[in-house]
Structure 1
């Protein structure tokens, strides 16, 4: 991994020198060095809390004078990116904290959030912002509105689908404010109060909330450890007559399962035969961690609405997603959209277009997430040996089977140990799933290990078990 591996860890002079690369850009050495270190902080390579090498060590590694190193650190301290204390050295801090703000990302060390399954920004984000800033000049002469999105971004997303085996033109792409926004658009257009919406059981909790908010009725079909119940889906399509289906066939949330080509073909044929539009959520499709042969994108003619997002592969802060659908369906979605919003932010679209043109950020993201997955899996096996799970080949979470129905009680107990958990019932259309818990691996390794340590204490409290020689009382 390119970043300092743990929050609060130390980086050596040689490692920092390698990260900085050719940092000299002018004769203003201290300014250049400070700017180079700042870029590594903003790009996520030097997380908040990283201990910097001593001035002498860094000077030797960079082949620079200690005076230059000291001047660069002075500039970083003035900007709030570095703090120093006599006898303790210097470390990376938050510029917000320097201004008297306590950002949750760097100061909430006592609480670990295992509800949110989104990572920090991917490597290369700052470079993409810098490149987008140059391109923005051409967009400033336009009104800035656009219900379909910028042509350059639509072209690059369409090219991604074509590369994956589903020929797509830019006219089949609409840019949205995230995948969830895309789903809500489709839901608003295709289903109304009292209409049935077919979903998997379990499924993405926020999709269930959106269905209920539209006063529609989620109709669940069970998804077990072995995958999709295609016979059950076929029977539900025939008997319930849903107006819409919402499905996650790539690294399913929360099970992590992936539907194979044969299953996709059969499912597509069912939806086409029943004339049921389906929103296929591809939020996690880019996070293929093991690099095996990937199934083709789901295709069911005019009945498939594929939605994607930048949030997991790059950063949730971009709030840019998209829809891939037939041109006729996109025309209808455009009309429905005006009741919700007037388009997506131009600058963020330019940033995502730059990210899509560079394969390196996504490669580094996959490498990072693969490592975090393996750390979390090892920690669960060590601290919660009675729990079972299938190691997912992609996505951001383990779906763990518990030794007894205790998911809600476990979430309540975990809160007392500074750990926020989403009980299994959140992922069910009508609750239940008390034998299951979702554990995301979207945080640094040390946070993951600490989270599982707390989780084991919470389990012991719920089950009255002994931990470290002490009996935990129910």
Structure 2
């Protein structure tokens, strides 16, 4: 199979002003151009913008595009190769890699890092999750569910499709959002993650490629790996929120890898909060048709709109079955409400039911009835929760600016977290030491593949404002204690 290649124009765009320092001054006066270029490419690799295993453009093409000598590019590639960031084989292009001493699987840090702490000092602020507490209406929802339960007690209670009142409520909400939906197009699941796993079982086979936006939801990456498929990252561009998804990159990756499936989060991507435009959604649907690829769109965060207007659901731009949607009640209402759904055509629903019977026999009826009740009050509940999230996001941004002014956070249009760029690639080390300062963190590499995003950290704003301020102060203390030892640039890039 052909190796994916980053085009010279794409790499040049991502490099930006690679010869300028933070003040905008030309770097060429302080260090050779090849060092500046090598350092900039190295940061793209750490940030996940140059995915591992992807080939860089030829030296000639990149030199022409950047307007530098070929010797500059050759020397930069050689330096990256010497430091383990490129792998070259005779007769083939140089592919992106990571040095052995910084490779890891990006999984969540083990709680064993807490063993040096006494019980009274255990962290009290957990920022490893992005979810809110249950709304006050939850009690009424379960009371209503209990009252509606008797009509189901005369049955076996195992319905793999989902109870009709909930499927009607979900279909009605899609229709209100501009995507006409019939209850027969809805399969109720045990959360969005369960729905994703069912879809992957049906749509993929071992060793097949699945495109993902990068960064993305970490449990989705693990689900793809668990079915034996291989996630293929297509980088997001948070610095360009109006065009964050590289649609040309998605098209190119789909063609080059023959991926038959993609998993994308266009509605307030977790962790960045980015929102795909209506034009982007139309183009995504066109790409899916052109490449005969099924796109699984995760709408778990779709209700967390904090700024602007949300476009029509991505599936509204499909002409057939090229876009399948998964959703969940956990982000909108409560994480303990393990109810999700898949919206697809009836043929795919039938296949999913065949797979589901080998895994489970349905979603608990009580939870389904409670969710149906909450969907009936969704506008009131969500309006209040959005106001809370906006206030908490503002508090988090203000505290970050005060405590960590050299960190860079670009708020997305919604969601529940900030994707924060650190000055140095120390995210995993910071997550490991932060518990000693009273906070638990999810390191950036959790949201990517093969060690990407060491310069990023996801910070949710789902806690109350006071806790968020305390958490940032704790993060700042951990970073201050860490940086003298861990934030030094990697040799030989220290010569400038």
TM-score band, normalised by the shorter chain? 0.7 to 0.9
Q: 1:285 aligns with which of 293, 298, 302?
A: 302
Q: Is the 8 A contact 1:122 1:313 kept in 2?
A: no
CA contact 1:123–1:365 (8 Å) conserved in 2: no
- TM-score, length basis structure 1: 0.74
Is 1:210 aligned to residue 205 of structure 2? no
Q: Which residue in 2 is equivalent to 1:256?
A: 273
Partner in structure 2 of residue 194 of structure 1 = 207
Paired with 1:164 and 1:326, the residues of 2 have a C-alpha distance of 18
Match of 1:20 in 2: none
Residue equivalent to 2:384? 364
Q: What is the match of residue 178 of structure 1?
A: 191
Partner of 1:419: 439
Deviation at 1:109, TM superposition (A): 7.6
2:294 aligned with 1:273 = no
Unaligned runs of 5+ in 1: 1-106, 466-474
Query: CA distance change for structure 1 residues 110 and 430 in 2, over 3 Å: closer, same or farther?
Result: closer
- Give the aligned partner of residue 333 of structure 1: 352
Aligned: 1:446 with 2:466: yes
Alignment partners' CA distance in 2, 1:183 and 1:317: 18
CA distance in 2, matches of 1:287, 1:275: 31
Runs of 4 or more, structure 1, over 4 Å off, are: none
Distance 2:284 2:421 in 1: 27
Structure 2 residue aligned with 1:36 = none
Could you tell me which residue of structure 2 aligns to residue 307 of structure 1? 326
Partner-residue secondary structure (3-state), 2:437:
coil
CA contact (8 A) 2:122 2:438 kept: no
Q: Is the 8 A contact 1:383 1:452 kept in 2?
A: yes
Where 1:145 maps in the other structure, the secondary structure is coil
- Work out the CA distance in 1 between the residues paired with 2:186 and 2:394: 35
- Do residues 386 (structure 1) and 406 (structure 2) align? yes
Counterpart of 1:98? Answer: none
Greater relative contact order, per chain length (Cα 8 Å cut-off, separation 6+): 2
For residues 108 and 160 of structure 1, the distance between their equivalents in structure 2, rounded to whole angstroms, comes to: 45
The unaligned stretches of length 5 or more in structure 2 are: 1-119, 486-496
1:294 maps to what in 2?
310
Secondary structure, aligned partner of 1:266: helix
Deviations 1:120-168 (A, max 9, x none): 1123111111111111111111211111101111111111111111111
CA deviation vs aligned residue, 1:386-441 (integer Å, no higher than 9, x gap): 11111222111000011111111211221221211111111112222111110011
TM-score with structure 2 length normalisation?
A: 0.70
Q: Secondary structure at the match of 2:235?
A: strand
Q: Which aligned pairs between 1:89-104 and structure 2 lie closer than 5 A?
A: none
The residue number in structure 1 matching 2:173 is: 160
Residue 349 of structure 1: SS of its match in structure 2?
A: helix
Q: Is the 8 A contact 1:177 1:319 kept in 2?
A: yes
Kept in 2, the 8 Å contact 1:123–1:364? The answer is: no
C-alpha separation in 2, matches of 1:168 and 1:305: 12
Give the superposed CA RMSD. 1.5
Partner deviation per Cα, 1:156-181 (whole Å, 9 max, x = no partner):
11111111111111011110000000
Q: CA deviation at 1:108?
A: 9.4
1:317 is paired with a residue whose SS is coil
* Correspondence for 2:137: 124
The reply on whether 1:355 has 2:368 as its aligned counterpart is no
Q: Is the 8 A contact 1:118 1:442 kept in 2?
A: yes
* 1:163-218 Cα distance to aligned partner (Å, 9 max, x none): 11111110111100000000000001111211111111111111111111112111
Deviation track 1:322-364 (CA, whole Å, cap 9, x = no partner) reads 0111111111111111111111000000000000111322222
Instruction: State how 1:27-38 maps to structure 2 within 5 Å.
Output: none
> What secondary structure is seen at the aligned counterpart in 2 of 1:284?
coil
Residue 133 of structure 1: aligned partner: 146
